[in-house]
Structure 1
Amino acid sequence: MVEVAPGVQVWAEEIPGPGEPLLLVMGANASGLTWPDELLARLARHHRVIRYDHRDTGRSTHAFDERPYALRDLADDAVAVLDAFDVDRAHVAGMSLGGTLVQLLLVEHPDRLLSAAVFCSAALEGTEGLPGPDPALLRLWGELTDERTREQELTWRVEHWRLLNGRVAPFDAAAFRALEERIMEHSGRTDSPAAHAAADTDGLDRAAELREVSVPTLVIEAPEDPVNPPPHAAHLAATIAGSRLMTVEGLGHALAPSLLEPLANALLGHTCGDVR
């Protein structure tokens, strides 16, 4: 457990491996357990991998109503996790809101980064003219804080993953249900985390600073992403100075089992040039 603010702790875990540290930053309202074990094992062949639960997810402190925070604070939490593991500099990879936080790290803490990878995310600036989330997702998000039994909550979460998965990669409902059962056991809660939707979003327009980034950055396009669909990734890559854009075909806004290998290859090709 890592103290990130007075009375606030986040759960973090290291998966030992050779090579340089790699910090994984998950999306909004999602536990670090959302990173699949198969992906962690693949990355840990080459890196010391660290994942963690954001505030108000998993085993971390759930106290937003008593201790509200800004989304920018979650980026500082990532730095606190690196400090707790005595990591001076790390590769970082962020998905969705995690990609937003990685962008904040690029402009606020570049000295702590060896490289950065961002996917399923939008640029830290106005995104006028770019497509928004699928209306079916928006309707489902309207139910986020509804009261549900454990079984109803599992059904809701699996349906959420089905929409996030997109229409190309096979959707393994049993695998995502098992994942959510593990997350419930891990967190000791069955309600849907929702605090990040209420967090302060001030200070997130950082496009000018992103254009000055010198940290090697990979932007991965998820062509089936229903939250930040194309051309969000291309726009992000054009915003971050010197970044490289590549596509993982079939990838949506979920880590589908069938796409873990090409995603790992993309990340490892960026961090160490080795995809074996």
Structure 2
Amino acid sequence: MQQFLDVAPGIRLWTEQRGAADAPPLLLVMGAQATGVGWPDELVDALAEHHRVIRYDHRDTGRSTWSYDDRPYRIADLADDVIAVLDGLGIERAHLVGMSLGGMLAQMVLADHPDRWIGATLIGTMALSTTPYTAPDGTVVPVGELPGIAPEVLEMWARPVEDHGPEAEVARRLEHWRVLAGGQLPFDADHYAALERRVIAHTGHHRVGTAHGRADDSGMLRTAELARNEVPTLVIAAPAEPVFPPPHPQHLAQCIGGAHVVEIPGMGHALPPAVQGPLAEAILAHTGAGAGAGS
């Protein structure tokens, strides 16, 4: 079921729900400039066997309002949208799954609205905390000395984007996914090409959004609040992750009270078919303890 929600003056978000209406809700929050369609249908359907799964388009993505150029907003407003989606759908409490920027938004709403969450899963993201990382050998590593984004990713992001039509744009995005996938698993070009064609069809155009990279990201740290967290939290570790490489997942789990880590072999900063089954199993194992705990 698809539905549009008015979450702020002049801002309307596209949402989709799958699964039984009376199943425990599970909200999926995608990364920067990524639509809700970026959550693969196969993964969504696997989760929907046990949950009322909600995915949505951020502002300036997909079918939601594209407003940044006329009315700039903050990353914090995207976090407010997470709560607004729950409110708009009449959901009191839900499980939460966030990837990349979505994982940062998830941390913000975990810290600011802990009463709204049954549990949380964080994928491909970094800690919104100044707490240093303690390595297995006891070495203490300041946050600023943790590994950064892989050079090949930065190089890709620095390239100017030119419009040569939708098929050329699909090809450009395919190469982007090749870098993000991390190289440990065979690259499934057909999967990513089909994904991007679905995204373009869903959005209605192939223009590249840049709003989230330009938005004010001040005030995102939640060091003390995350340390006090009591919401059961799963951190997914991806060994081939090129954006937030290990030990970022382990650091994230150290920063969030009660968090634990599960590794998905071969995973990078992407959701190809090879990782969808293990990822669904990990998420469902985590939500099992809270299933039926509220809606």
Matched, 1:160 2:193: no
Matched, 1:92 2:108: no
Match of 1:128, SS state, is helix
Which of residues 235, 246, 263 in structure 1 aligns to 2:251?
235
Contact 1:169–1:259 (8 Å) recurs in 2: no
1:40 and 1:125 map into 2 onto residues whose CA distance is 30
How far apart are 1:257 and its partner, in Å?
Answer: 0.6
Which of residues 54, 58, 61 in structure 1 aligns to 2:58?
54
1:193 and 1:143 map into 2 onto residues whose CA distance is 14
Q: Which residue of the partner structure matches residue 154 of structure 2?
A: 138
Q: Evaluate the alpha carbon distance shift between residue 260 and residue 144 of structure 1 in structure 2; reply closer, same or farther with a 3 A threshold.
A: farther
How far apart are 1:162 and its partner, in Å?
Answer: 0.8
1:111 and 1:81 map into 2 onto residues whose CA distance is 15
1:8 and 1:143 map into 2 onto residues whose CA distance is 30
Q: Which residue of the partner structure matches residue 106 of structure 2?
A: 102
Contact 2:121–2:236 (8 Å) recurs in 1: yes
Q: Evaluate the alpha carbon distance shift between residue 94 and residue 153 of structure 1 in structure 2; reply closer, same or farther with a 3 A threshold.
A: same
**Which runs of 4 or more aligned residues in structure 1 lie more than 6 Å from their structure 2 counterparts after TM superposition?**
none
How far apart are 1:16 and its partner, in Å?
Answer: 2.1
1:3 and 1:75 map into 2 onto residues whose CA distance is 15
Amino acid at match of 1:95: M
Match of 2:200, SS state, is helix
Q: Which residue of the partner structure matches residue 207 of structure 1?
A: 223
Matched, 1:117 2:121: yes
How far apart are 1:61 and its partner, in Å?
Answer: 0.6
Contact 2:19–2:50 (8 Å) recurs in 1: no
Task: Map 1:15-34 to 2 at 5 A.
Answer: 15-17=18-20, 19-34=23-38
Matched, 1:6 2:9: yes
Contact 1:170–1:258 (8 Å) recurs in 2: no
Contact 2:46–2:280 (8 Å) recurs in 1: yes
1:128 and 1:68 map into 2 onto residues whose CA distance is 29
1:33 and 1:100 map into 2 onto residues whose CA distance is 19
Match of 1:14, SS state, is strand
Q: Evaluate the alpha carbon distance shift between residue 136 and residue 146 of structure 1 in structure 2; reply closer, same or farther with a 3 A threshold.
A: same
How far apart are 1:52 and its partner, in Å?
Answer: 0.2
TM-score, normalization by structure 2 = 0.90
1:27 and 1:35 map into 2 onto residues whose CA distance is 10
Q: Which residue of the partner structure matches residue 278 of structure 2?
A: 262
1:182 and 1:81 map into 2 onto residues whose CA distance is 23
Matched residue count: 274
**Is there any run of 5+ residues in structure 1 with no aligned partner, and where?**
none
Match of 1:116, SS state, is strand
Q: Which residue of the partner structure matches residue 271 of structure 1?
A: 287
Match of 2:17, SS state, is strand
Contact 2:7–2:88 (8 Å) recurs in 1: no
1:208 and 1:79 map into 2 onto residues whose CA distance is 21
Which of residues 39, 48, 65 in structure 1 aligns to 2:43?
39
TM-score, normalization by structure 1 = 0.96
Contact 1:56–1:193 (8 Å) recurs in 2: yes
Amino acid at match of 1:112: R
**Is there any run of 5+ residues in structure 2 with no aligned partner, and where?**
131-142, 291-295
How far apart are 1:142 and its partner, in Å?
Answer: 1.4
Matched, 1:193 2:212: no
Match of 1:49, SS state, is strand
Q: Evaluate the alpha carbon distance shift between residue 85 and residue 161 of structure 1 in structure 2; reply closer, same or farther with a 3 A threshold.
A: same
Asked which structure has the greater CA Rg, the reply is 2
After superposition, the C-alpha distances for 1:54-93 in whole angstroms (9 at most, x for unaligned) are: 0000001111011111111111101111112110000000
